[in-house]
Each structure stands twice: as C-alpha cells, then as structure tokens.
Amino acid sequence: MHPIVAKAQLSPNVTRLVVEAPRIAEIRRPGQFVIVRSGPGGERIPLTIADVDRSAGTISLVIQAIGKSTHELTSLNVGEAITDIAGPLGNPTHLLDAGHAVCVGGGVGTAVVYPIAQALAANGVKVTSVIGGRSKEWVIYEEELRAAGDVIVCTDDGSYGRHGFVTEALKELCEAGGIDEVFAIGPVPMMRACSELTRPYAIKTTVSLNSIMIDGTGMCGGCRVSIDGKTEYACVDGPEFDGHKVDFRQMADRLTTYREFEQAALERWTTEHPQAHS
C-alpha cells in the first residue's frame, strides 16, 4: 500500500498526488514512469513520475482525469492509499550535458517534461520551456519550470501569456537558431506538429509516447508503436523516441481502439459515485 500524503488540484481536470514509495523515489530517473493500480480489480495504468523527494521517500504523480481509472485515482484523498505502484519502468531520458534545449509541454504533458527540464538545468544546459493550455486555469507547472530557465506560456484563448499554440512559439525559437534538442510531450497531435516543425531545421526532437500500456514490461504488446517502420514497445524501448521517426497516425488510431468501452466504464462509475462529481 502507498499512502497519499498530499493532494493538489493543478487545473480543472489535473490532480497531483504525492504518495509514499521510498524504493521508487530512491532510484527513479527523469523520463521513467510507474504502473499504478488504485485498488483490487482496478485497471493498470502508466503514470510519469513528475517529481521525487528522496528524503521523504515520496513520488509525485500528476493525473488527468479522463476515464474511469483516472477518476478513481483523483477521487482518493490524503490518508487513503493506492494499492499497487510498480516501477520505475522505461528508459531514462538521454540528457544533454551542454547547449540549449527547448522543452515543450502541452496540457498534462507539462508535468512530464518538468523532470527533464529540471535534470537538464542541473547539467548546466540552457533550458527554454514552452508550455500551453486552453486558458490560464489550464496552465500547470509554470513556476516549477521557471526554476530551470526561461518559460514561454501560450493559451488558446489568449487569457494568459501568448495567444496561440505552443508550435507558434517553437517555430520562432527554431528560426532564431542555436537549439540542440527539442523535447515535446503532450497530446499526440501536438507532438506530431512539433516533430514536423523541427524536421526542416534538422533539430533532434524527442517525444514521450503515451500508448496503451498494461504490464509495462514488454509482455503484452499493447504499447507497440512503429518507429522508422519497425515495431517497438513504448514500455521497454521507450517511452521516449525520435519524433521524426514515429508513425503518429498509427499511434493515434490505436489509442481509439477501446474508446467505446472506456466511455461506458466511466458512465457506470459516475453513476455509482455521484459524490465524486458534486
């Protein structure tokens, strides 16, 4: 059991849970993730480790409540516990040790890019973060990322920061030159757009793929993705890949495979737990 020691609402549907997991906190590296099961009979879902506190033996999980399982997790409160957390899993981020990196985060992907920006800055790399949200209330991890370097905030409606998408700010940075690598993490369309944008500039672009995942050890094959025409597994070969080699169309199609089942499961859960939405 992993007790929840802190909970915070970061945006209308994004929650941060700080949970006790001392062995994971001790060895986790940026880019790695865990497989979480909220309780008996629960679904296994992958979550990035957004931060750790080794002295306290805790890890931070940032969860976007979309389906039944993520709503179950975000409905938990301090003092309650998550039954199972397995990890750290996946390959850690290959970090630059010099130069200029641009970290692009879209929505909850901003929490995923945060530990990467943090580690790059610790390596002495110049970090520029470009983060986005629909409006101001959807922007997360801005202050944390400012500790790593400059931050450009973009909102779809112009209510905060720049009016427009993160890709527009990224294009200006690419045109200015001097970028050694781009890390783009967020919704599939955003990662695809960032990868296509950087391609003509020949800027290395790393993306973190949020494909369907069950066991996290390469056994089930559910997280398979096509990288440069070759089948690889996001859990053991990734989760980070060269964005210029990812078949984003295939990945987007696979993510919709269980959409009807997911919607039905969420509807049943909300009917059974009306207090969670009151």
Tell me the CATH number at 172.
3.40.50.80
What pLDDT, on the 0 to 100 scale, is given for residue 261?
66
Q: Do residues 178 and 231 both lie within one domain? A: yes
Residue 13: predicted pLDDT: 87
pLDDT for the residue 277: 52
The verdict on 150 and 29 lying in the same domain is no
Specify the number of domains making up the chain. Answer: 2
Q: How far apart are the first and last CA of the chain?
A: 28
Determine how β-strand 162-163 pairs with β-strand 126-133. Answer: unpaired
Q: What is the pLDDT along the chain (278 residues), one digit of tens a residue?
A: 899 999 999 998 899 999 999 999 999 999 999 999 887 877 888 888 999 999 999 999 999 888 878 888 888 899 999 999 998 999 999 999 999 999 999 888 999 999 999 999 999 999 999 999 889 999 999 999 999 999 999 998 988 989 989 999 999 999 998 999 999 999 899 999 999 999 999 999 999 988 777 777 878 888 888 899 999 888 889 899 999 999 988 888 777 666 776 777 777 767 777 766 54
- Same structural domain for residues 79 and 113? no
> Does residue 61 sit within a domain?
yes
129 and 250, same structural domain? Answer: yes
Q: How many helices (H) and strands (E) does the chain have?
A: 8, 16
CB 207 within 8 A of CB 182: no
For tokens 């003092």, what's the residue?
79
Same domain, 151 and 219: yes
User: What CA–CA distances, in Å, run from 170 to 67, 126, 129, 154, 197?
Assistant: 31, 15, 10, 11, 8
- DSSP E strand boundaries for the chain: 2-11, 14-20, 33-37, 45-53, 58-64, 81-82, 84-89, 100-106, 126-133, 150-155, 162-163, 181-185, 204-208, 224-227, 230-233, 240-242
Does residue 81 share a domain with residue 153?
Answer: no
Q: Check whether residue 52 and residue 129 sit in a common domain.
A: no
Euclidean distance between CA atoms 89 and 73, whole angstroms: 20
Q: Kindly calculate the radius of gyration of the chain based on its CA atoms and give it in whole angstroms.
A: 18
User: Residue 199: its pLDDT value, please?
Assistant: 95
Distance from C-alpha of 234 to C-alpha of 67, rounded to nearest angstrom: 21
Within this chain, do residues 105 and 10 fall inside the same structural domain, yes or no?
Answer: no
- Answer yes or no: do 216 and 241 share one domain: yes
The pLDDT, as a whole number, for residue 276 is 63
150 assigned to some structural domain: yes
Tell me how far apart the alpha carbons of residues 50 and 65 are, in angstroms, rounded to a whole number: 16
Whether 143 maps to a domain, the answer reads yes
Q: Tell me the two tokens of residue 23.
A: 């062995």
User: Domain end: 66, 89, 112, which one?
Assistant: 89
Strand partners, 106: 132
Pair type for strands 240-242 and 204-208: antiparallel
Q: What share of the chain is helix, strand, coil (3-state, %, to 5)?
A: 30, 35, 35
Residue 72 placed within a domain: yes
Non-local (6+) Cβ contacts of 224 within 8 A are 211, 231, 232, 233, 234
**Residue 278: per-residue pLDDT:** 45
Q: Is residue 274 part of a domain?
A: no
- Tokens for 123, please give them: 């390596």
Helices 188-198, 248-255: inter-axial angle, 10-degree rounding: 180
Q: CATH number of the domain that 60 lies in?
A: 2.40.30.10
Residue 200 lies in a domain: yes
* Domain shared by 181 and 161, yes or no: yes
Is residue 186 included in any domain, yes or no?
yes
Q: Is residue 266 part of a domain?
A: no
Domain coverage including residue 185: 100-255
Distances in Å between the Cα of 268 and the Cα atoms of 36, 69, 73, 274 are 21, 12, 16, 10
What is the β-pairing status of strands 204-208 and 181-185? parallel
Residues 122 and 243 in one domain: yes
Both 109 and 21 in one domain: the answer is no
Question: Is there a cis peptide before residue 239, judged by omega within 30 degrees of 0?
Answer: yes
Q: What is the pLDDT of residue 269?
A: 65
Task: Determine the 3-state secondary structure of 31 from DSSP.
Answer: coil
